[in-house]
Amino acid sequence: MSSESEVRSRYLALALDARKVIDALILFVDREQRTDDLDQSLQEVIDSLRVREEDIFSPLRNRLAFSEYYEQVRTVGESDRAAIAGKLETVKANQATLEKQKQDAFDAIKLLSAIESRALYYYRPQP
């Protein structure tokens, strides 16, 4: 049922999915800690962002809010998708220098924060 509250709830889910990755990335940038589930969290987001470019009908689209619904897809623009996925790949691969990884993680935090903020804006009840 795509009632107004359902749509709002989807935006909240998008904000929460973004937050989960932001939390892990903040720890990485600020304390150089890689949490146990960092790689998995990054991979899930990368998959859900990348799948758009590959197969519109892929079941992967249903994993996270980033690709779950039309409204959410609209929130995350095509250029943002590519940018975030690329930067998250750098962190996950753990091959670049630490400074490069931290810079990419920092950039990804800023992009994901913007998405979280936008999603919260769409979620928020208006008085």
Partner 1 sequence: MPNQVQLGVETLKKDAAALFLFVDSVCQFCIDSDSPAYLKPSEDFFKYIRDLGDATKAYLNIFSEKAPKDLRLYQDYRQKLETIRSCWFEFHQFLKPAIDADTLSMPYPLVEALTKRLNQIKGLENTTFVLFHLDEVNYLQVRVSEIRRTANRLASIIPDSDPFPADLGMIGIPYSQSSALYLNCLIAHEVGHFVFQRFQQKQKILPEVERCLKVSLASQARTTVEMLDWSRDRLLSWAEELFCDLFAIFLVGPCYALAYVELFGLTTILNPDPAISSGYSLTPESTIFSRSHPADLFRLKQHVALLQKGDGWWKKVDTIKSHCVDVLRAAASVSDTGFVFFTDEQPHAYAGATLQGFFALAPIVQNVTSDVTRGLDSGLTEYEKFGDLIESHLERAVVPSTVFDGHYHWYPDTVALLNASMKFALESLEKLMNSVKDQKTLLAGHRSRWLNRVEFLTSKALEDHHLLVKEKGSVSVGGSFKRADISAAEQAGH
CB 32 within 8 A of CB 102: yes
Residue 124 binding partner 1, by CB under 8 A: yes
CB 71 within 8 A of CB 10: yes
Residue 110 binding partner 1, by CB under 8 A: yes
State which of residues 42, 47, 50, 69 lies at the interface with partner 1 (CB under 8 A): 69
Sequence length of the chain is 127
Binding mask 7-46 for partner 1 (x = CB under 8 A): --x--xx-xxx-xx-xx--x--xxx---------------
Binding mask 70-99 for partner 1 (x = CB under 8 A): x--xx-------------------------
Q: Select the span of 42-50, 87-95, 111-119 touching partner 1 (CB under 8 A).
A: 111-119
Give every CB contact of residue 63 below 8 A, 6+ residues apart in sequence: 44, 47, 48
CB 58 within 8 A of CB 86: no
